[in-house]
Every structure is written in structure tokens, then in C-alpha cells.
Structure 1
Amino acid sequence: MTTDTTEATADATPPKSPAPKKRGLIDRYFGISVAGSTLPREVRAGLTTFLAMSYIVFVNPDVLSNAIVIPGVDNVFTQLIMTTCMAAAIGSLVMGVIARYPFAQAPGMGLNAFFAFTVVIGMGYTWESALAAVFISGVLFVVLSVVGARRAIVQALPMTLKLAITAGIGAFLAFLGMKNAEIIVADEATFLALGDMRSAPVWLALLGLMLTAVLMKLKVTGAILWGILAATAVAIISGAAVYSGEEGLVPFQGFSDGVVGLPMWPSDLAFQLDFAGLMNGESLVVGMVTVVLTFFVVDFFDATGTLTGLAQRAGYLDEHGNMPRAKTVFSMDGLAAITGAMLGTSTTTAYVESAAGVEEGGRTGMTAVTTGVLFLAAMFFWPLIGAVPSAATAPALILVGALMMGGVKDVEWGDIGESLPAFLTVVAMPFTFSIANGVSLGIISYAVIKLFSGKAKQASWLLYLLAALLLARYIWLS
């Protein structure tokens, strides 16, 4: 009887549950498992982001070299490549390690053109003075982030505009992708027109687009990355003229300088800021304030809109549309601008191409860390980046753009007070080639309609203040 009772008791004992799987240090720090991701997925997403934005390694030096000319120095372009890689690496690493967000940073397109062609060539400032202006604007970013002003602005944006910002960034990405692939081209009569559908870039991009879409439909892991690599392989093997040359598009030219290049310290660019030169012989208000504020306002709304849209797409925003660790993430954006200026490049900011990594499954800072490490590696292997043509990364931008449009279904399209600001936000980004303009027009129109339709209390007082400041900016600082 004793034996039977013992056996019965043993049978009644519930089986022990398996011990929880131990999480590694990297997993615990970045919260990879908590975010429902894996380390391989985060690394793959970081690689995808890097490939989607790797063009900046050559494009940024190409733009800035128009303004940064140093007598007696014949390797300015190479130094600019090094500076671009270092600024992108540091910006992405601080965003990943400190803010723990999957958003990469690099010298911003548009801002570099403003730096070179408007401030230096057009307004007559030296490039050293322009770097000082970028530095000051970065300090302002950090200060406003620390005191919570940038977070307050994001919280003041209604959900309608947050959804529209995400969709607008998607439209902007798709526009960039189609432009890079020459599916759309400039036209004197109609501004835009359909490109030559027989050209190699168009066919390569369409091939990559369809292949990537099929892979995504089949739920193939790493579909976007495989699409980029497959299109690149086709470009190299086929000898298609899809690479930029001195006299137009050319086939892949091989690696004439090898695949490894020793990095160098940009001694003629780093720490060359000239704060006194911002005066430029004029009053302080006309000189420094105008240039600094223009850098500040454009990048403030560009970066804020980009980060908000990416956070919404990555699932970071809560039910009230608030972003966790907002002060930190915005501060890292400002810190990247400061660091980039000290290294010798125009404003470093969050990159909208980070959406490609987010769609690839990147959910934590490990994605941005991977991108940052790859930018460091690019200082050694930058010749390899030239093997990936713009037409190969264009499909990723178009597809991600399509996916980011999904949020507009939740906009109240039957209410003109909600639908018009959302519509203006979405279309203004690609039409004006500026995320900042889309955000600005959305805020202004939302505030005006609410104020004059008797619904003023439906918007935050801060939104009305922003609208007034943005109107002033367009009137006096455009």
C-alpha cells in the first residue's frame, strides 16, 4: 500500500517546465528577444540599411567637394569619403548603443547641397564657417532635446499627422527609388516624365522590384537584401550600363584600385570650424543667426519627422503616439550633427533609408550598430560599395515606400480638417523633395483649419505656436 501511494503521488507531480533559455549580454542590453527579434535578423537588417544608404559614401563627397576646396591639397575627395564614413559610423553607433533604436545616421542629402551651394557658394561663407553653423545648430538640437522640447513637439502632433508623416516618408522613398532608377526623369515641360523604359537602369530596377516583391510574398527571410544582391549580380554579370561614369552611365569597371583601401585621417577637414567667420563682415543677426537658424529649422523638422515616422513604422509609438526614450533618441540626432561638423561634413541626421532595415525586421539598436560598423569597414573596403548601383537599391526604396503607406487608412478622410493636412503632408514630401516641408505644411494647415472652424481646443497650444513659427520661417527665412 505504501508503494502504491508513493507511486500515485509521484504520478500526480506535474512535470517540470523547461528552464528558460538564457539570454546573452547583447540580447539583454538591446532587448532583442523582448522586441520579438533575433541577433541574425538584427544584423541582416543593419546590412540592408547600409546597402540602401551606402551611396552617401560617394555622393556626399561629390556634393561637398564643390564648396570645400583646399589649395595645395589634392586628396580632398578621399578625405571627404573618410569623413563621411566616420560621421555615419559614429552617428549610427550612438543611436544604436545609447538610444537603442534601429535608425542609422549619416550626412543628410539636401542639407549637404544647402551647405555647399547656398551657404558657401551662394552666400559667400567659407566652408569652415559653414561647419561652425552646423555645429551650433547641433548644440541647439541637443539642448532642446534634453529640456524635452522636441519630445513635446512630437506629442503635440495629432495622430493624423503622425500617420501622414509615415506615409509621406513612404512616398518620398518611392520617389527617390524611381528617380535613382531613372523610371522618372526631369522634364522642362511637365517637370517630371516617364524615363526611357528601354534603358538598363529601368529594366534592372524593375527586375529587382518584381523579384523582391515575389520573395516578400513568399515570406523569404531577408527578401529585401537578397533583392539588392541579386540585382547587383545581374548588373555585374550582364555588363549593363548602370554605373555612374564621368561621361554618363557605364558598365561595371571592375576594381581598378583593388578592393581594399587604407583609411586616412582627414587632417585638412577635421576641427576646422571658424565661428568668427560666421559674421562675414555683416551684423550678427544677418550673418550667424540667419545661417544657423536655417540649418536648424530645416534639419529639426526633417529629422523629427523622419524619426517619428520610422518609430511609428517600427511599432515604437504607444497608443497615444508617444515615443519611448524620446529625449535620448533626439539628443543622439543632435550629437551626430555636432560630431559630423567637427569631422568636417555637413549636418549628420537620421536616414529615411533606415526604413529598409525596419522592414527587414530590425527592431533594436543592434540594427543601427551593425550599420555603423559597416560604415567603419567601408573606410577599408569602400571600393566594394561602388559595385552596388543605385538601380539595385531603388527597388528596396520603392517597396518600403509602398509598405509605409498603409497607415493612411486610419486617417479620417471624411473630415476635411483631418484629411487635407494629412494629404498635404503626404504629397508635399515628394513634390518638394523635403520631409521638412511636408511636416511644416501639415502642421500649418491643421492649425489654421482647427482655429478658424471653431475647433481650436482640439489641437495643442504648442501646435499653434509651431504653425506660427513655421509661417514666419517661410516668410522671412525661405
Structure 2
Amino acid sequence: MTTSPAAPGSALDRFFGIRAAGSSVSTELRAGLTTFLTMSYVLFVNPQILSTAIQVPNAFVQLLMTTALAAAFGSLAMGLVAKYPFAQAPGMGLNAFFAFTVVGGLGVPWQTALGAVFISGVLFVLLSVLGARQAIVRAIPNVLKFSITAGIGAFLAFIGLRNAGIVVANEATLVGLGPLTAAPSVVALVGLVVTAALLARRVKGAILWGILVATLLAIVLRLPVYPGANGALAPFSGFTGRFLGIFDVPVWPGALVGQLDIAGALGLGLLSVVFTFFFVDFFDATGTLTGLAQKSGYLTPEGDMPRARRVFTMDGLAAMFGAFMGTSTTTAYVESASGIEDGGRTGLTAVVVGVLFLLAMFLWPLASAIPAAATAPALILVGALMLEGLRHVNWDDVTESIPAFLTIIAMPLTFSIANGVSWGVISLCGIKLLSGRGREVSPILYVVAALLLARYIWLSE
């Protein structure tokens, strides 16, 4: 399909280089809409996860606003400054680490956890500006990059299954199968099948459509899957109809903005949390952005990305802005590949995404209709898609397959992304060294492994 190029010499063409990229304004606009549709589920899923840790009045709506603002800022920064078609938003997996491991597991106040996210963003910006990214990236073998992403995917899927009531606690076996005929399980399973079918058919915005189908099922059948079910809303324990006023003035997230505690996050006991936020975001963003650059045709034969410092600096600034606004780490979204597949090649695509996130803030009444059971399929399927990189792991090489396995399995079983990352790094260095292949590992990674091992020893005392 041919598209008309941007008008020669137009302001948009000069600023974004649309014609030079072989694209057109109409293509960029369509690509931006496509990207937004594929990642807009974050507006519902991110608040659902973070609201378990951040306790403020009207938490879900305020977190939805913060999510939209963080996604808008990150996408606009990437489009206007770095001029790439890469959208940003609060990252899946990183929000789970924030809510369930740092706040829920370690008992860190959410304000302090936001401070840790902010500091990790500052470190990210400094390394990006100094150009130290290349040295650190080269130190991490691909097997760990793929494994960390896959482990986060397994963790997300586990959380989704738990939110749906499909996986439940069991005193004898730790976990077990929940009642599949219960309302939350039915909603989630229907949403899972529908969403997977839409993904298979390559329907734009498949995850969002799946959430909407599951939500409509819950509303039409008046299923008890909403807060207060079988209690405060009795005798009708289903949807209350609050979404019928679809449009409303955006709510300012005043209880979240500027609440981060940077001083508390600088405490010695939280340095490992700051490091994990930084480590996971750094390599997740690096892998995502490198893959997107390759897909959009910008990666050089040597593997370098033009304007790399700008790209990674904008990612770090987005994390800092998101933390100030009250959300977990904002980062590049792999769903940007859908817009690139649709022809997006310049920053105009990301700008369109940012503008659409701002407009979405006027639709916040819809949020009251989205139960946790309807967003569970999104977590499960996003988690499944994150396992794609495992096909690149050399499973015949024990020095790589065992660290990969430990990285992946540790995250859901210990309910901690930090443990998965740590086990992977430590085991890789140890196995390579003791098998006589220590030179295959960068000295930088040995230093990282030693620090992680020291942290475990220190914490066990």
C-alpha cells in the first residue's frame, strides 16, 4: 500500500524527517493510534496493581490519571526529543515489583519506594549522558536479558491467575487450583480466550478489546466481581452503573504528586531496592529499545542506535517524572512494535500516542466498570508474550540454561523480581567460573555478582 509523503518543506516533515524515513503524515497518525490501542490497557492494569500498595482516597482513579500523565510525558519526550516512534508508559513487571515485593513484601512505604524509582531514573540519565551504557550492556550476556524478561512475564502471569481466583493459596501445597465456576474465574477465562483469539487474528488493540468483552460479561450477568460484592452492594453485588457518564473532567492526583521520599530511599537498607529498579529497567529498556530500533530499520550493522544517548536519557527522564507523579517506573513499551508494523517510523507516531493518553484522561468514569477479573487476562497474556525471547537461549549449554531457569523460576515462586535477577547473575558467574569458562563473563558482572551475594549474606544475619 502506497502512501502520500508529507508535503516537501512542511514543518512536520522538517522536524521529524518524515519523508526521509519513507513515511507520511497519515501513516504516522495511524501508527500512533495503533500503538495507543495496543498499550492502552495500561490505563486499567497499572492502577489495578499499584492500588494494592498505594492507599490513598479514590486510589484507582488517581492512579489512572497518574498513569496517563506519565505515559503522555514519556511518549512526548521520546517523540519530540529523541524523534523515535517508541511510546512509553509505566512498565508491566516493574509495577508488580513495586507493589508486591518492595511495598507488600519488604514493608517499604510507597512514598519511599517512589523515591527509589526516582533515584534509579537519575542514575539511568547519568549513565546515558556519560555513554557508560555500552560498557554495562556488553557485560550482561543475552541469556540473562532474555531470562529476566521471561521471568517477569511468568511473574505477571502468576499475578493475573491469582487476581482471577484461578490460583489460590493452599495450606498443604502452598498453591492450588481455585473454583473455576466462580464468577471471577469465569470472567477471566472468557476474557483470556477472547483476547488470545484476537491476538491470533492480529486485531489492533486486542488486549483492550479483551478487557472490554470481559467487563461487559460481568456487567450484563451482574456478576459479583466488584469491590463490596456480597456485602456493601447487596442485594445487587454486581456493577453499580457508574460508568454511564462516560466523559468527565480529569481528576488531579493530588494525593500522589510530589509524595516521593528521596531521603528515605537513600538509606543503606534500600540501596538494593534502588539497584534492582535500576538494573531491571536499564536492561529491559535497552533490550526493548534495541529491538524496536532494529524493527524500524534504524539499527546499524554494528548494532548501534543513532541518537542512543537521547533515547536512553528520555527513558530515564520518564522514570523520574513518573515517580514524581506517583507511579512506578515508566519505560519503553514493546507494544510500540505494532505501530512500527503499521508504518510508523518517526517521532510523530510517539507524539500521537502521548496526545491520546492525555485525551484518555477525560474518560476516567469508564474505570469504575473494569473489575480485577477483567484485567487478569491482560496480565496473563502479556506475561506469556514476554517469554518469547527464551527461544534464543542455548538450552544445551548448562552454564547458560541453569542460570536462565533459576532467573525465571525464582520470580514467581519467591514473588520477587529482585530474587530472580540476583539468582541469575550469581549462578551464571559461579557456574562459568567453576566450569573453567570464567573468561566468558565480563569482570563487571563478577563485581555485580559479588555485591548481590554480599547483600544476601548481610540480610541473613
TM-score, length-normalised on structure 2? 0.77
Question: AA paired with 2:40?
Answer: F
In the TM superposition, what whole-angstrom CA distance separates every residue of 1:393-452 from its partner, at most 9, and x where no partner exists?
A: 333333343344333233221211111111112222322334343233222211111112
How far 1:328 sits from its partner (Å)?
A: 3.5
Go from structure 1 to structure 2 and tell me whether the alpha carbon gap of 1:51 and 1:266 turns closer, same or farther (over 3 Å shift).
closer
Match 1:147 to one of 119, 130, 141? 130
Go from structure 1 to structure 2 and tell me whether the alpha carbon gap of 1:220 and 1:243 turns closer, same or farther (over 3 Å shift).
same
User: 1:234-383 residue pairs with structure 2 within 5 A?
Assistant: 234-245=217-228, 250-255=237-242, 258-266=245-253, 270-271=257-258, 278=264, 288-290=266-268, 293-311=271-289, 314=292, 316=294, 326-343=308-325, 345=326, 347-350=328-331, 354-355=333-334, 358=337, 369=351, 372-383=354-365
Structure 2 CA distance for aligned equivalents of residues 205 and 220 of structure 1: 19
The total of aligned residue pairs comes to 436
Question: AA paired with 1:300?
Answer: F
Asked if the contact 1:186–1:193 (Cα under 8 Å) also holds between the matched residues in 2, the reply is yes
Go from structure 1 to structure 2 and tell me whether the alpha carbon gap of 1:188 and 1:373 turns closer, same or farther (over 3 Å shift).
farther
Asked if the contact 2:41–2:207 (Cα under 8 Å) also holds between the matched residues in 1, the reply is no
In the TM superposition, what whole-angstrom CA distance separates every residue of 1:8-48 from its partner, at most 9, and x where no partner exists?
A: xxxxxxxxxx99841474884595859xx864344233223
Question: AA paired with 2:329?
Answer: T
Equivalent position of 1:105 in the other structure:
89
Equivalent position of 1:192 in the other structure:
175
SS of the residue aligned with 1:193? strand
Go from structure 1 to structure 2 and tell me whether the alpha carbon gap of 1:20 and 1:237 turns closer, same or farther (over 3 Å shift).
closer
SS of the residue aligned with 1:186? strand
In the TM superposition, what whole-angstrom CA distance separates every residue of 1:238-295 from its partner, at most 9, and x where no partner exists?
A: 22223333767942221179433433545565446666x64xxxxxxxx834255234
Structure 2 CA distance for aligned equivalents of residues 390 and 41 of structure 1: 29
Equivalent position of 2:432 in the other structure:
450
Go from structure 1 to structure 2 and tell me whether the alpha carbon gap of 1:410 and 1:321 turns closer, same or farther (over 3 Å shift).
farther
Equivalent position of 1:175 in the other structure:
158
How far 1:299 sits from its partner (Å)?
A: 0.6
TM-score, length-normalised on structure 1? 0.75
Greater CA drift, 156-165 or 130-139: 130-139
Go from structure 1 to structure 2 and tell me whether the alpha carbon gap of 1:20 and 1:85 turns closer, same or farther (over 3 Å shift).
closer
How far 1:192 sits from its partner (Å)?
A: 1.8
SS of the residue aligned with 1:386? helix
Question: AA paired with 2:271?
Answer: L
Go from structure 1 to structure 2 and tell me whether the alpha carbon gap of 1:459 and 1:324 turns closer, same or farther (over 3 Å shift).
farther
Structure 2 CA distance for aligned equivalents of residues 324 and 316 of structure 1: 11
2:438 matches 1:460: no
Go from structure 1 to structure 2 and tell me whether the alpha carbon gap of 1:166 and 1:341 turns closer, same or farther (over 3 Å shift).
closer
In the TM superposition, what whole-angstrom CA distance separates every residue of 1:297-346 from its partner, at most 9, and x where no partner exists?
A: 12112212432454476574868877665544433333233223434x25
How far 1:81 sits from its partner (Å)?
A: 5.6
Structure showing greater radius of gyration is: 1
Question: AA paired with 2:147?
Answer: A
Cα RMSD between the aligned structures? 4.0
- Unpaired stretches in structure 1, ≥5 consecutive residues: 1-17, 67-73, 279-286
How far 1:135 sits from its partner (Å)?
A: 3.9
Equivalent position of 1:407 in the other structure:
389
Go from structure 1 to structure 2 and tell me whether the alpha carbon gap of 1:408 and 1:42 turns closer, same or farther (over 3 Å shift).
same
How far 1:355 sits from its partner (Å)?
A: 4.5
How far 1:198 sits from its partner (Å)?
A: 0.4
Query: Identity of paired residues, percent?
Result: 47
Structure 1 CA distance for aligned equivalents of residues 450 and 258 of structure 2: 37
Structure 2 CA distance for aligned equivalents of residues 429 and 315 of structure 1: 28
Structure 1 CA distance for aligned equivalents of residues 188 and 260 of structure 2: 41
SS of the residue aligned with 1:185? strand
SS of the residue aligned with 2:224? coil
Match 1:425 to one of 398, 403, 407? 407
Equivalent position of 2:452 in the other structure:
470
- Unpaired stretches in structure 2, ≥5 consecutive residues: none
Structure 1 CA distance for aligned equivalents of residues 349 and 315 of structure 2: 16
